[in-house]
Structure 1
Amino acid sequence: MRLVCLCAKEETELGRQQAPGSCPYCGGKVQMIDVEGKWMFCFIPLCFNIKRKYLCSSCDRRLVLYHQKI
């Protein structure tokens, strides 16, 4: 007998806004994207989380912010 584990992650976009600043690679505009992630196990939702991603509108690179402590 085999036990099959069906796990999946679904992401849906909640909203998009223009972020302050510019892309360090091409100088294009930066967009903030709010994304809701949902982990599913055998079609049963296990976990919900909301993340904010940053994306350049010109070169389509995903940007990562680093915070420095002063």
Structure 2
Amino acid sequence: MCMVFVFGEEKRELGRQQAPGMCPYCDGKVEAIDVETKWFLCFLPLCLKINRKFFCSSCDRRLVLYY
């Protein structure tokens, strides 16, 4: 018996805006990007998540917030 699972992931950028603050590495501007992620199993949608990610516009590093 052989079982094959087909998983897929689709990411889409929803919007981009300037965030307050400066990059701690190069003192560049920080951008907030809203990303929609969809997970599929055999072409059926399993999960839909919307996340906000922060990047520096000068050095393109991903910045992480610690609360």
Specify the TM-score bucket, using the shorter chain as the normaliser: over 0.9
Unaligned runs of 5+ in 2: none
Partner of 2:38: 38
Q: How many residues align?
A: 67
Partner of 1:18: 18
CA distance in 1 between partners of 2:45 and 2:12 (Å): 14
Identity of aligned residues (%): 66
Unaligned runs of 5+ in 1: none
TM-score, reference length from structure 1: 0.91
TM-score, reference length from structure 2: 0.95
Partner of 2:28: 28
SS of residue paired to 2:58? coil
- What's the CA shift for 1:10? 1.0
Q: Which ranges of 4 or more aligned residues in structure 1 deviate by more than 6 Å?
A: none
